[in-house]
């Protein structure tokens, strides 16, 4: 594989110089620019895996520049370099998805190398997933959903079962075959955004910190973005985005309620929850099918669409 190309953007010559020297040793191909405009020109002519940009520069700020990079080259991973005074802006940029990580100046060499390694791992997984989606075949999609699952070994086989349950519900509801086909793809891909969540966070046995939880919650939007990047059945993107919404409006990312939530997402939510409850997780043992059914019934009209729960319980009864 050719060395990944990194673009460094900073108006301070000495910062560019020392970063370049440090990263050159790691075998990366390095491009530099002294402001956002110049950075955009470089990106237009060369594919770049990772952009590291200073926040305070003459002309466009780092955040504004990185937002443009996100719009035009969504697969390129973005890191912000910032002084202590700008940490709030950096955190806001992470929370809005504009930036993958930030690095404070002056930096620690070990830390910067590790952040870059993680960023390139993210670039690699995302580009592979997008490529496979472009090929649009169910086999490739299944293989990839498995790759995401392997990152989270507790969920092995999860996508297969979610697809089976979701299709069972859809058939009971007499949805058109075309809708069922989209639902099948969406079931396999519903958690593909987990490709962007740190492995340690996915496999953590203890309780997540508030920040880790925020990271996990982003997987539905990241999944939507991956599917959109591949121009892959754009109709399934809203299903992936909304698979953690709740019937009573208390879910994420948009707090949609009732029929505002796409039907396919309401179906996946029930299928996903039942399979999660009946599987072992790092933080708890599996519940019995009876216990899981009792929870679904209790959450009818709260977390879940009552009609979907009814159909799913009938499906389970028929397949005993």
Please report, as ranges, the residues that interact with Fe ion according to CB under 5 A.
191
289 near 235, Cβ under 8 Å?
A: no
Strand partners, 104: 82
| 75/191 with CB nearer Fe ion | 191
318 near 194, Cβ under 8 Å?
A: no
Nearest residue to Fe ion, by Cβ distance, number only:
191
CB of 243 to Fe ion, least distance (A): 6
CB of 216 to Fe ion, least distance (A): 8
How far is 218 from 215, CA to CA, in rounded Å? 5
Q: Dihedral, CA atoms, 147, 210, 236, 128, nearest 10 degrees?
A: -30
| 98/191 with CB nearer Fe ion | 191
Among 70, 194, 218, 256, the one annotated catalytic = 194
According to DSSP, residue 173 is labeled T
| 64/160 with CB nearer Fe ion | 160
CB of 88 to Fe ion, least distance (A): 29
How far is 276 from 165, CA to CA, in rounded Å? 12
| 98/224 with CB nearer Fe ion | 224
CB of 123 to Fe ion, least distance (A): 22
How far is 50 from 53, CA to CA, in rounded Å? 10
Tokens of 70: 């996100």
How far is 288 from 277, CA to CA, in rounded Å? 8
Cα angle at 225 between 99 and 199, to 5 degrees? Answer: 65
CB of 195 to Fe ion, least distance (A): 12
| 152/191 with CB nearer Fe ion | 191
Tokens of 9: 């953007």
**C-alpha separations of 247 from 52, 214, 253, 302, 306 in Å:** 41, 21, 13, 6, 9
Is 5 in a helix, a strand, or coil?
Answer: strand
Cα angle at 87 between 54 and 11, to 5 degrees? Answer: 15
CB of 251 to Fe ion, least distance (A): 11
**C-alpha separations of 111 from 45, 101, 105, 144 in Å:** 30, 12, 12, 30
| 191/224 with CB nearer Fe ion | 191
Query: Catalytic site residue 194?
Result: yes
Query: Catalytic residues, which ones?
Result: 194
């Amino acid at each position: 594989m050719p060395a990944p190309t990194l673009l460094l953007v900073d108006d301070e010559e000495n910062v560019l110089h020392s970063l370049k020297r440090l990263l050159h040793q790691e075998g990366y191909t390095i491009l530099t620019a002294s402001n956002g405009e110049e950075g955009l020109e470089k990106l237009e002519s060369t594919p770049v895996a990772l952009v590291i940009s200073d926040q305070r520069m003459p002309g466009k700020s780092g955040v504004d520049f990185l937002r443009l990079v996100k719009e035009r080259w969504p697969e390129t991973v973005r890191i912000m370099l910032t002084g202590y005074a700008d940490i709030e802006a950096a955190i806001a940029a992470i929370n809005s998805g504009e930036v993958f990580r930030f690095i404070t100046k002056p930096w620690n060499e070990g830390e910067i190398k590790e952040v870059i390694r993680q960023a390139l791992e993210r670039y690699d997984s995302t580009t592979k997933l997008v490529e496979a989606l472009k090929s649009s075949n169910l086999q490739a999609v299944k293989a990839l959903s498995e790759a995401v699952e392997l990152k989270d070994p507790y969920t092995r086989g999860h996508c297969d079962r979610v697809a089976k349950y979701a299709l069972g519900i859809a058939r009971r509801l007499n949805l058109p075959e075309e809708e069922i086909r989209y639902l099948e793809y969406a079931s396999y891909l519903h958690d593909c955004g987990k490709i962007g969540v740190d492995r340690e966070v996915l496999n953590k046995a203890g309780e997540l910190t508030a920040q880790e939880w925020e990271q996990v919650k982003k997987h539905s939007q990241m999944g939507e973005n991956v599917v959109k990047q591949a121009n892959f059945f754009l109709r399934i993107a809203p299903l992936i985005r909304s698979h953690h919404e709740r019937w009573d409006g208390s879910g994420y990312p948009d707090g949609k309620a009732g029929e505002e939530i796409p039907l396919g997402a309401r179906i996946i939510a029930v299928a996903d929850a039942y399979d999660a409850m009946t599987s072992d997780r790092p933080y708890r043992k599996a519940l019995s099918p009876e216990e899981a059914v009792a929870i679904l019934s209790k959450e009818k009209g709260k977390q879940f669409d009552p009609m979907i729960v009814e159909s799913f319980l009938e499906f389970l009864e028929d397949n005993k």
